[in-house]
Structure 1
């Protein structure tokens, strides 16, 4: 039984509510910080938005990213596969004129054939065949992805292997899949950079929000490695892992 009062207070963050795709509880306060990427998804998307009439945001979460992009094209859709996020996204996006669509399978989106001029995707899984189906001729697909080794240092501390389904996911694989479907990849870049947690509560909150990192995560099950990481933070000031990101732009 761990009797460290500071540790026990911090791990109560597992009980804090998380909704949409909003990490501001731990990012706005600086409790979790990631190294700046050598690109900006928003800055890359906006020029394409100016020329688009129809646009889709895949995996919109609570609509946080899409709602930050102005002005939106005439017709905008957003998909979300996690039901609790749908009303959150609707509340944020519908006043902006965007339609939020719930879906269950990446390979079967309830959207029209060859409808979108622009599809954007931030950290959402996708089927290349479905992108090909719903994107119109000469349409553009822009995606930023978390790679398969993202934050692997957490898994090492917890003794949990990476999810084999995603461990291979990297820029080379994503580019090859798109080229196999006759997309023209016009830009691609990959980055490995630090991500830091400055208290153990921030890590606990993060793992609750990202259940695929440690699929069976509970504080009770992993209290020992959590306490070891807490000691690292006490000594070093932070717990650091490596994030894995890549971005690509492809034309149909």
Structure 2
């Protein structure tokens, strides 16, 4: 039984509702922060949207980011495959003229051939073949992705191996896959920024929101490991993990 009052307080306080794709509960208070990338997905997407006539946002989450990228072209669609997020994104985006579509399979998008001249995708799985099918011949595909070994230090600290299924998901693999499916990559870059947690409650909140990092995460299963992280933060001031991020801008050929 762990009787550390501050540790118990952080764990109880982490029992907050999470909706959409909004980490502001821990980021706005500075409890979790990440070092900067040398590119801005939002800035790149914003510029491309001003030049587009038809737009698809893949994996819109709760629609938080897309809603901030207005004004939109005449035709705008968004997809979301995580069921809790679908009604949230629909409520947020429908009044803005965005048609939100629930999808179950990356390779079965409910759109016609060449329907979009701009497809944007932030941290969402995709089928390169299906993206090629629904993008116009003069279109642009912009995606920022999370590498397969993202935040590996969390898994190490909790004693859970990384999912081997996704370790291949790195920039070189994604570039080749797009090129093999009829794209020319015109910009690509990868970096490993640091993500910093300043208290164990922020880490727990984060893990509850991203179930793929530690599948079926339950605090009670990892009390000793979490307490070890808490003690390290109490001593050092923070717990650092390494993110993996890469961005690709590609055009059909």
Q: Which residue of 1 aligns with 2:81?
A: 81
Q: Which residue of 2 aligns with 1:190?
A: 190
Q: What does residue range 117-196 of structure 1 map to in structure 2 within 5 Å?
A: 117-196=117-196
- Output one character per residue of 1:199-252: Cα deviation in whole Å (capped at 9) or x when no partner: 100000000001110113111101111000000100011000111100010001
Q: Which residue of 2 aligns with 1:113?
A: 113
Q: What is the CA RMSD across the aligned residues, in angstroms?
A: 0.9
Q: Name the SS for the 2:164 alignment partner.
A: coil
- Confirm or deny: 8 A CA contact 1:13 1:202 kept in the other structure: no
Runs of 4 or more, structure 1, over 4 Å off, are none
Report how far residue 110 of structure 1 moved.
1.5
Distance 1:111 1:12 in 2: 44
Report how far residue 168 of structure 1 moved.
1.2
Long gaps (5+) in structure 1 = none
Q: Which residue of 1 aligns with 2:27?
A: 27
Q: Which residue of 2 aligns with 1:209?
A: 209
Q: Which residue of 1 aligns with 2:237?
A: 237
Report how far residue 72 of structure 1 moved.
1.0
Distance 1:221 1:63 in 2: 32
- Confirm or deny: 8 A CA contact 1:128 1:177 kept in the other structure: yes
- Confirm or deny: 8 A CA contact 2:132 2:182 kept in the other structure: no
Q: Name the SS for the 1:235 alignment partner.
A: helix
- Alignment partner of 1:90 is 2:90: yes
Distance 2:227 2:202 in 1: 13
Q: Which residue of 2 aligns with 1:222?
A: 222
Distance 1:28 1:212 in 2: 24
Distance 2:83 2:45 in 1: 26
- Confirm or deny: 8 A CA contact 1:13 1:204 kept in the other structure: no
Report how far residue 130 of structure 1 moved.
0.8
Q: Name the SS for the 2:243 alignment partner.
A: strand
Report how far residue 14 of structure 1 moved.
4.1
Q: Which residue of 2 aligns with 1:251?
A: 251
Count of residues in correspondence between the two structures: 252
- Confirm or deny: 8 A CA contact 2:141 2:250 kept in the other structure: yes
Question: Could you tell me the TM-score, scaled by structure 2's length?
Answer: 0.98
Q: Name the SS for the 2:220 alignment partner.
A: coil
